[in-house]
Structure 1
Amino acid sequence: MPADAKLLLIDKNAVEYALQTEDVLAAVREAFVLHSRRAGRVFPVVRERLHTGGIFGIKSGAVASQDLLGFKAAGFWPGNRQLGGEPHQATVMLIDPATGRPLAILDGNAITTARTGAAGCLGLKALARPESSQRLCIFGTGVQARIQLTYALNALPEVRDVRYVSVSNETDESFEAQFREQCTIRLAKERNEAVASSDVVITATPGGGPLFAAEAVQSGTHLTCVGADTAGKRELPPGVLERARIVVDDAEQARAIGECQWNPTLACVELGDLLDGKMHFERDPTDITVFDMTGLALQDLTVSRLIYTGTLANGTGTTVAWPW
């Protein structure tokens, strides 16, 4: 057995250095298309609550034509806030499908953040009304809310007015400062009014329950829903999905752990089918659209492959002996 085998470790700094916006968008789009064509396999998701109060999950998959195999072990540990750390934690491993040997271990936090932001961006471009998307309401001010708003302002340059709802219902100065040069941004005084007057609504919270009243959602609104990724989680109130045209990243997964778990009999379309041209989506100006995002393993793999090949090429990362 090879005694000179190596394992590449790619830490947070190296991952963040490699995450260029357009490259990430292309990799995530590729993941959606691979999924649509069933050229990439998505294995059953593990998502379990722990005795520590955290949630632990594994998303894994493979792309045979690219010899791409791997998984992301990730979850949510709310107690990390008291330790001065980020509640979302993730680690990615890429594996040689021919031997089962690990090729690389990557810090998955930035990967998860970026690929989820990119997925939301692709959903906005496909589903939102660009001619009237000037007002946006976002729930949350954390890491995922920030990346969703960053990509949303990229996807919808017409957006001029942003209102946000924070967990404390108080002004978040650092959140405002990050986006003040790109738009007018302010705390929503009343969340239902903010939803009712917005063209786009993004929910990027831990998914602890409905965030607003169903009747606040007006005709023509697009909603990007990020926080429901576990059985029992939700951000939308009852009655919204029933009025909406629903797009998901994966139908089975969305009905198990996404917003669609609350009414799994509703019809939905996978975003990959729209991006690949399998299905045509003509949006009526009065349509309410929902993008129910639960996260695809293929997104983690295509973005991790991007980082892995780039790291090999530029000689960054840390190589350690990993003999058989």
Structure 2
Amino acid sequence: MPTSATPFSPPNPAEARLLLLDKHQVETLLTAEAVLPAVREAFLLHAAGEGRVFPLVREPLSTGGVFGIKSGDVQSQGLLGFKAAGFWPANRALGGEPHQATIMLIAPETGRPLCIIDGNAVTTMRTGAAGALGLMHLARQDSIRLTVFGSGVQAAIQVQFALACLPSLQQVSYVNTNRRRDEKFEARFAARCDIAPAADHNLAVSESDIVITATPGKAALFELDAVRPGTHLNCVGADTKGKRELPPDLLARAKVFVDDANQARQIGETQWHAETPVTELGDVLSGKSVFARADKDITVFDMTGLALQDLTVARMLYAQALQDQGRHAGIAWPW
């Protein structure tokens, strides 16, 4: 983490500046290769107790949107900040993205902001990277068939990371909300795999080694009996109270992994079965928990997103931007 000696947080408060990274700058700096180790670090910090996740804010608005704040710190690294984010479905009618996020890094010594970052691409990429870590450590490494529910931004990044981390994948079926062909979605992956819309969503699940759910999460997307032994599921859409994507009783049949146990019970799939035994993925990555997959295991990674993931990725972007300040806007921010 850049210290108070950086040009954007000088010793003289009157000379302080605030770095601003907009959507286009973030997308230029952000790569899958850089995001994956940053997200892995977030899981390891959480497992070691070095990274704190503060109480979650997630509240419905009268506008029809949902507003949330995820925040945390790593005291040993001088890392502190938050992401204000949520979901505004009416944005689609405006030609905009329903998911909106803004990240702020703060100097823990003074409380002054160091950097404000457009968080949309960060959220997309860090969630894709988290999904990849789940697949790498929980799914069968010889998996061939994948079914994804959704064909939007998050579904696409999940498939992108899945194809990158599991070379054995050959076939992708997708189910979107209107059950129609999405040629743009298919074109993104056609050179890497056979991809087509699923004619029957339950049949597609039953024939898949991996299932990814990345939808607004209003109700179960498929039937319980469609999930065959040996299947791994990455579940992304349930991130608010009342949302779900999995059928009732599936968690009881599965080995369940989460990013944060308390948060998953508040807003993830496990809110519906709070008594479900869970293992945090960070414990698997650190070796604190050992998972050896049996052939017939059904595994679920209930992903609700860690504040620490946003912060480790934001720190990486901040450090990169500081190396080339001439290309990134900053404004005077004296105090």
Q: TM-score normalised by the shorter chain: which range applies?
A: over 0.9
Q: Distance in 2 between matches of 1:56 and 1:266?
A: 27
Unaligned runs of 5+ in 1: none
One-letter amino acid of the counterpart of residue 170, structure 1: R
Q: Distance in 2 between matches of 1:17 and 1:306?
A: 13
RMSD of the alignment, in Å?
A: 0.7
The CA deviation at 1:239 is 1.5
Q: Distance in 2 between matches of 1:130 and 1:301?
A: 30
The CA deviation at 1:159 is 0.6
Q: Distance in 2 between matches of 1:199 and 1:88?
A: 29
Match of 1:76 in 2: 87
Match of 1:224 in 2: 234
Q: Distance in 1 between matches of 2:324 and 2:170?
A: 39
5 Å-filtered alignment, 1:1-324, equals 2-131=13-142, 133-315=143-325, 316-324=327-335
Q: Distance in 1 between matches of 2:108 and 2:13?
A: 16
TM-score (norm 2): 0.96
Unaligned runs of 5+ in 2: 1-11
One-letter amino acid of the counterpart of residue 274, structure 2: P
Q: Distance in 1 between matches of 2:159 and 2:223?
A: 22
Q: Distance in 2 between matches of 1:167 and 1:173?
A: 15
Q: Is the partner of 2:323 in helix, strand or coil? A: helix
Give CA-to-partner distance per residue, 1:232-282, whole Å, 9 cap, x none: 000001011110000000000001100000001010000000000111101
Q: Distance in 2 between matches of 1:234 and 1:317?
A: 40
Give CA-to-partner distance per residue, 1:129-182, whole Å, 9 cap, x none: 012x00000000000000000000011111101000011000001000111001
The CA deviation at 1:208 is 1.1
Q: Distance in 1 between matches of 2:329 and 2:97?
A: 24
Give CA-to-partner distance per residue, 1:190-228, whole Å, 9 cap, x none: 000000000000000011111000110000000000000
One-letter amino acid of the counterpart of residue 236, structure 1: L
One-letter amino acid of the counterpart of residue 117, structure 1: G
Q: Is the partner of 1:3 in helix, strand or coil? A: helix
Q: Distance in 1 between matches of 2:253 and 2:238?
A: 19
The CA deviation at 1:2 is 2.1
The CA deviation at 1:17 is 1.3
Q: Distance in 2 between matches of 1:44 and 1:229?
A: 14
One-letter amino acid of the counterpart of residue 22, structure 1: E
One-letter amino acid of the counterpart of residue 314, structure 2: S
Give CA-to-partner distance per residue, 1:268-318, whole Å, 9 cap, x none: 000000000111101001000000000000000000000000000122321
Q: Distance in 1 between matches of 2:49 and 2:275?
A: 23
The CA deviation at 1:3 is 1.8
Q: Is the partner of 1:231 in helix, strand or coil? A: coil
Q: Is the partner of 2:14 in helix, strand or coil? A: coil
Q: Distance in 1 between matches of 2:191 and 2:177?
A: 23
Q: Distance in 1 between matches of 2:290 and 2:88?
A: 40
Q: Is the partner of 2:247 in helix, strand or coil? A: coil
Give CA-to-partner distance per residue, 1:95-128, whole Å, 9 cap, x none: 0001100000000000000000000000000000
TM-score (norm 1): 0.99
Runs (4+) off by over 3 Å: none
Q: Is the partner of 1:224 in helix, strand or coil? A: strand
Q: How many residue pairs end up in the alignment?
A: 323
One-letter amino acid of the counterpart of residue 100, structure 1: G
Greater Cα offset, 175-184 or 308-317: 308-317
